[in-house]
């Protein structure tokens, strides 16, 4: 009897199995949806309220812990535990039997790991289909979590629909995303909207089991909530990189990463979410072309089963090929290979050139001090001196050779370079005596040459060397008299040290540049050489040779190059250079801390260790304070206006006005383009993973949408009116460029303000004007307050010599220094006071200022609160004004700031300012994320290693990058200024100074033609040209 019973059970199970097989075989022509006209070959249907066991034959219960998360705001890492997924039998739901698959999620661990539950299909070959499920989110007020259904291959190829309970029930919503789309609210619906929408029939309750659906085809992705279309994305309207085309598994999970824009959270206590059932109809990517052809031949649409048939159960059988993850086959094109070759050649050439320059400049034991470049100037010489047979009297020294050697007269007071002077051989056969005789026919030797366009470009031998003539020598860039200005005796090109003659070492005894024998270099004073009478016997003229002369013209003046009369270098105010260097390093340190250890510098940031909070409440308030920026603004004014206040020369104002914007913007545009390129090739790839490691949400930078946005955002820096944050802040590492509009606007305030100030001669009126401007800028919340204080400090130093007065009154000096120091400490202590008491001076002080929209005090509007980072703060003004006074007057501080270490960094501060953020966010994020994820090192050591690598790379790159930045900024700006205010040299023909016929009509000529040529040359060389010069 027991045998028959067992046989009956086996027979019944066999019938059920055959029935399932028949059901599947009846749908061998696929599954069709008449509403969308979509046909798919495979299916997977599971009702979790109809089973007591987990369907492991089609789903995998996952176990993992992410090493990092890809999100700008994810400070927690996801994990999944198989024990957090189980079948529940419950009828507590409002819609009948709510037995389902239950997912549980736990609160975060101390390492910011949030363990939830996740399942995925064993099949990874799902490509296009219709996926339908009912899900219930986690309960309200349990902390932000997400119950999600998604098809995911990787970060860029995925489709997801998420039910999010958020921190507050009023914020709960369902979003729909593709790829790496940002979870913007426009891509989803709020729970309250869903509950009150009459389009849903029957009405849905998003807090209970709600049907969601995704239809994925080659042309579109459509999202449904409660059978109502919520969003559609079409291939033609989306990027080919973001539209999903890759075979993927189907996943369900309950998770949280702490992203305030996505899941929020993490959960504050253990909570659950549910999956009621899932019905999926899809195609398989492992189906071959022959199988597709056979399917199309065998089946028609009318033979397919309907997707809405609720009697369908089970799944389509699959093989091992369906489980393996799909891998793309990459075909390297010839274009890419050619690109690799070009890139390799460019890199090799760049490295070779850099090595060559480095090798040439590398100091060695035999290295000598570099010689100053010789300056050669082509002067217009009279045709009489163009004789190659010219000979000198025995008394003429060898130093007056065809090309005299360079003469340099230098001492500690003068860095003037003396231009070379000498004889230039030519084609005429006249002697020095003939020149003098010919000159004396019309006028005396000593007064024969007056200032004329032809003799202003340089020294000629028939110029009288008298003190008056030397005084009237003119520096010229060309042969026009309008470009020449008289210079003083001390700056004369003929004078040496302290205005004395610099030509004695080259003067022949019997020439017109004569030095008396009793004058010796040992004498303290030199006198100008007097002219001497030249006797007939001293110089004779040989008979002219009787042969044809080659048609080579006598020397004609080129546009004279400017004489390199360098003034003595201005002594740099070293302590200000050191101040700027230290402030720059502190700014880089602040950005490093904000990026890798935010709790040390930001209120409310999550800490890895308790000492981070302690540091922020003590030393961090003084070292990691953004009000250091005020020192840059005050100090920059001295370099802009000190020369004008000292001399009243408007040329310095014109130069700064012309070049200031170019000086700042050209290097910035170049560095922004460099970062544009590096971000486009993935240099900041790891930055988006960093928040889950360092627990900071401060770093953020994305690529420009296109090149036009780059141009627009760079130009915006020039024209943006502070206070505002430029758009390039989001496309440039660390966003430091928000200070550029402040600097540019402050330059105009400074340059125009100092002109007005200098015209106010009465001291008390000038001080009243300063007070008026400073108060108005402060009340308007303008950064001009800092620049006006900078003008005031510079004016007090340059005009009123207040430092000298203070030195004579020691008590006032040290009392003022103590007061300035206290103001600086008070400004820095605001964050410390806030950390311990909660009182914030910037909030109170900001409430006094008017609101731009309403005109009311800000404290009475909705905009009340802590000022934005691009707004000036009152404690910043106190700090900058106090510390600047201490730096200007305290010897001990100046000694510290003048240390060689700080001065070595000063030439590189602009490079550090522009580049450090890129290194922090590219190399730094790479090192930090990989060390934390792939090693067991504690985080403090990870941060320390990252700091060493980042700062080492920064300092190593300065010798390479600074010359580029300086060339693009300082040198190019200097050229722009020279082109703007100097008249260009006159245009010359291509063959100048040769006549056109010398090359165009060169042929054998007769004696008559040769004689005509001789006469023509003599005429040019002897009379016409010389008379024209006179």
This prediction has a pTM of 0.74
ω into residue 731 within 30 of 0, thus cis? no
Extract the residue ranges of the chain whose pLDDT is less than 50: 1-24, 93, 95-96, 377-571, 1007-1008, 1018, 1020-1021, 1023-1030
- DSSP E strands in 205-300: the ranges are 210-216, 220-225, 228-234, 250-255, 271-284
Q: Measured in Å, how far apart are the chain's first and last C-alpha atoms?
A: 145
φ/ψ (deg, to 5) at 256: -165, 140
Q: What's the pLDDT tens digit per position in 108-150? A: 999 999 999 999 999 999 999 999 999 999 999 999 999 999 9
Whole-number Å distance between alpha carbons of 831 and 603: 9
Task: Calculate the alpha carbon distances from 678 to 347, 727, 926, 959 in Å.
Answer: 15, 19, 14, 20
Q: At what angle do helices 739-759 and 784-798 cross, to 10 degrees?
A: 40
Nearest-CA neighbor of 920 among 696, 661, 614, 630? 696
- DSSP E strands in 124-182: the ranges are 126-136, 146-152, 158-164, 173-178
Q: What's the pLDDT tens digit per position in 647-684? A: 999 999 999 999 899 999 999 999 999 999 999 999 99
11: Cβ–Cβ under 8 A, 6 or more apart, which residues? none
Q: What's the pLDDT tens digit per position in 593-640? A: 999 999 998 888 999 999 999 999 888 888 888 888 889 999 999 889
How many residues are listed for the chain in this entry?
1030
Nearest-CA neighbor of 695 among 69, 169, 250? 69
ω into residue 909 within 30 of 0, thus cis? no
Q: Dihedral (C-alpha) 4, 6, 9, 10: value to the nearest 10 degrees?
A: -100
Rg (CA), the chain: 43
328: Cα separation from own chain's centroid: 36
Looking up tokens 């369906």, which residue turns up? 322
Q: What is the pLDDT of residue 572?
A: 54
Q: What is the pLDDT of residue 99?
A: 83
Domains of the chain: 48-275 (2.60.120.200), 371-558+993-1030 (no CATH), 574-979 (no CATH)
Whole-number Å distance between alpha carbons of 796 and 767: 10
**Structure-token pair, residue 473:** 């020598």
Whole-number Å distance between alpha carbons of 595 and 950: 12
Q: Percent of the chain at pLDDT above 90?
A: 54
Whole-number Å distance between alpha carbons of 822 and 825: 5
Number of Cβ atoms within 10 Å of the Cβ of 98: 19
174: Cβ–Cβ under 8 A, 6 or more apart, which residues? 161, 162, 163, 164, 188, 189, 191, 194, 206, 210, 212, 225, 230
Whole-number Å distance between alpha carbons of 114 and 84: 12
Q: Quick one: 644 exposed, middle or buried, by C-beta within 10 A (0-12, 13-18, 19+)?
A: buried
438: Cβ–Cβ under 8 A, 6 or more apart, which residues? 384, 1026
> Which DSSP helix (H) or strand (E) runs through 18?
helix 2-26
Q: What's the pLDDT tens digit per position in 23-55? A: 445 788 999 999 999 999 999 999 998 988 999
Apex 576 CA angle, 573 and 581, nearest 5? 125
Number of Cβ atoms within 10 Å of the Cβ of 911: 25
988: Cβ–Cβ under 8 A, 6 or more apart, which residues? 559
Pairing of strands 305-306, 31-33: parallel
Q: Percent of the chain at pLDDT above 70?
A: 72
Q: What's the pLDDT tens digit per position in 265-291? A: 899 999 999 999 999 999 999 999 999
ω into residue 705 within 30 of 0, thus cis? no
**Structure-token pair, residue 567:** 């003034």
Q: What is the pLDDT of residue 425?
A: 39
């Amino acid at each position: 009897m027991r045998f028959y019973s067992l046989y009956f059970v086996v027979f019944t199970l066999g019938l059920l199995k055959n029935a399932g097989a028949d059901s599947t075989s009846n749908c061998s022509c696929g599954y069709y949806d008449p509403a969308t006209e979509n046909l798919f070959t495979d299916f997977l249907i599971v009702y979790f309220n109809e089973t007591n066991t987990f369907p492991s034959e089609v789903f995998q219960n996952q176990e993992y812990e992410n090493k990092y998360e890809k999100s700008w705001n994810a400070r927690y890492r996801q994990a999944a535990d198989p024990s957090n997924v189980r079948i529940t039998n419950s009828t507590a739901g409002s819609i009948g039997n709510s037995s389902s698959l239950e997912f549980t999620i736990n609160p975060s661990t101390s390492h910011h790991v949030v363990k939830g539950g996740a399942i995925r299909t064993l099949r990874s070959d799902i490509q296009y289909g219709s996926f339908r499920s009912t899900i219930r989110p986690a309960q309200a007020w349990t902390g932000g979590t997400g119950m999600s259904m998604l098809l995911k291959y990787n970060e860029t190829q995925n489709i997801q629909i998420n039910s999010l309970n958020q921190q507050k029930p009023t914020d709960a919503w369902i979003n729909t995303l593709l790829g790496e789309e940002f979870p913007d609210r426009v891509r989803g619906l709020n729970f309250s909207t869903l509950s009150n929408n009459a389009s849903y029939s029957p009405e849905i309750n998003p807090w209970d089991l709600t049907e969601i659906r995704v239809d994925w085809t080659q042309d579109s992705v459509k999202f449904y909530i409660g059978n109502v279309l919520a969003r559609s994305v079409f291939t033609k309207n989306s990027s080919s990189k973001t539209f999903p085309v890759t075979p993927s598994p189907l996943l369900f999970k309950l998770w949280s990463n702490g992203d305030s824009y996505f899941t929020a959270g993490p959960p504050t206590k253990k909570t659950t979410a549910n999956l009621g059932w899932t019905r999926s109809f899809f195609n398989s990517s492992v189906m071959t072309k022959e199988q597709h052809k056979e399917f199309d031949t065998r089946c028609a649409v009318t033979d397919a089963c309907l997707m809405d048939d609720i009697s369908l159960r089970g799944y389509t059988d699959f093989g091992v090929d369906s489980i393996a993850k799909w891998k793309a086959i990459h075909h390297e094109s010839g274009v890419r290979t050619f690109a690799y070759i070009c890139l390799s050649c460019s890199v090799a050439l760049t490295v070779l050139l850099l090595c060559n320059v480095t090798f040439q400049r590398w100091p060695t034991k035999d290295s000598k001090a570099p010689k100053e470049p010789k300056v050669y100037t082509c002067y217009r010489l009279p045709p009489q001196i163009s004789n190659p047979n010219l000979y000198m009297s025995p008394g003429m020294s060898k130093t007056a050779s065809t090309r005299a050697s360079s003469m340099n007269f230098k001492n500690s007071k003068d860095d003037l370079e003396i231009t070379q002077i000498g004889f230039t051989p030519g084609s005429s056969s006249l002697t020095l005596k003939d020149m003098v005789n010919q000159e004396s026919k019309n006028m005396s030797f000593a007064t024969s040459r007056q200032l004329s366009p032809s003799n202003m470009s340089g020294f000629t031998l028939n110029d009288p060397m008298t003190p008056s003539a030397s005084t009237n020598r003119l520096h010229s860039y060309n042969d026009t008299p309008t470009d020449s200005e008289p210079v003083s005796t001390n700056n004369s090109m003929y004078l040496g040290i302290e205005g004395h003659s610099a030509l004695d070492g080259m003067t022949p005894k019997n020439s017109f540049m004569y030095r008396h024998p009793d004058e010796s270099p040992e004498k303290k004073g030199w006198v100008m050489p007097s002219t001497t009478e030249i006797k007939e016997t001293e110089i004779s003229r040989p008979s002219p040779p009787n042969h044809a002369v080659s048609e080579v013209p006598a020397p004609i003046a080129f546009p004279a190059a400017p004489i390199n009369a360098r003034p003595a270098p201005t002594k740099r105010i070293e302590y200000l250079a050191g101040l700027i260097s230290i402030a720059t390093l502190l700014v880089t340190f602040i950005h490093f801390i904000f990026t890798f250890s935010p709790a040390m510098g930001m209120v409310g940031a999550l800490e890895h260790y308790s000492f981070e909070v302690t540091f922020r409440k003590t030393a961090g308030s003084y070292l990691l304070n953004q009000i250091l920026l005020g020192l840059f603004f005050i100090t920059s004014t001295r370099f802009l206006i000190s020369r004008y206040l000292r001399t009243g020369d408007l040329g310095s104002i014109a130069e700064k006005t012309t070049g200031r914007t170019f000086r700042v913007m050209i290097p910035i545009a170049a560095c922004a383009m460099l970062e544009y390129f590096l971000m486009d090739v993935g240099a900041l790839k790891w930055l988006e993973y960093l928040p889950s490691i360092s627990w900071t949400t401060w770093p953020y930078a994305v690529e420009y949408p296109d090149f036009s946005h780059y141009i627009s955002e760079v130009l915006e820096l020039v024209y943006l009116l502070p206070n505002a944050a430029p758009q390039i802040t989001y496309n440039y590492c660390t966003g430091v460029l928000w200070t550029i509009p402040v600097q540019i606007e402050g330059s105009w305030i400074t340059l125009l303000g100092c002109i007005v100030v200098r015209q106010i001669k009465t001291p008390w009126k000038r001080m009243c004007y300063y007070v008026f401007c400073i108060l108005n800028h402060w009340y308007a919340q303008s950064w001009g307050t800092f620049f006006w204080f900078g003008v005031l400090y510079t004016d007090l130093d340059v005009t009123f010599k207040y430092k000298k007065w203070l030195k004579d009154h020691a008590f006032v000096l040290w009392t003022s220094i103590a007061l300035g120091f206290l103001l600086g400490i008070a400004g820095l202590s605001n964050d410390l006071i806030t950390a311990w008491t909660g009182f914030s001076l910037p909030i109170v002080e900001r409430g006094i200022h008017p609101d731009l929209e309403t005109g009311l005090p800000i404290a009475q509007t909705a905009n009340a609160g802590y000022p934005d980072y691009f707004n000036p703060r009152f404690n910043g003004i106190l700090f900058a004004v106090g510390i600047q006074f201490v730096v200007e007057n305290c010897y001990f501080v100046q000694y510290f700031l003048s240390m060689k270490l700080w001065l070595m960094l000063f030439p590189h501060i602009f490079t550090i300012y522009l580049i450090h953020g890129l290194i922090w966010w590219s190399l730094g994020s790479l090192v930090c994320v990989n060390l934390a994820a792939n090693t067991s090192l504690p985080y403090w050591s990870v941060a320390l290693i990252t700091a060493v690598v980042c700062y080492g790379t920064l300092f190593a790159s300065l010798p390479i990058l600074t010359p580029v930045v300086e060339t693009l900024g300082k040198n190019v700006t200097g050229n722009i200024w020279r082109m703007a205010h100097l008249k260009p040299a006159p245009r010359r023909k291509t063959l100048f100074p040769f006549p056109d016929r010398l090359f165009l009509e060169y042929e054998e000529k007769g004696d008559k033609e040769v004689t005509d040529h001789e006469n023509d040359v003599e005429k040019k060389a002897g009379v016409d040209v010389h008379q024209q010069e006179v």
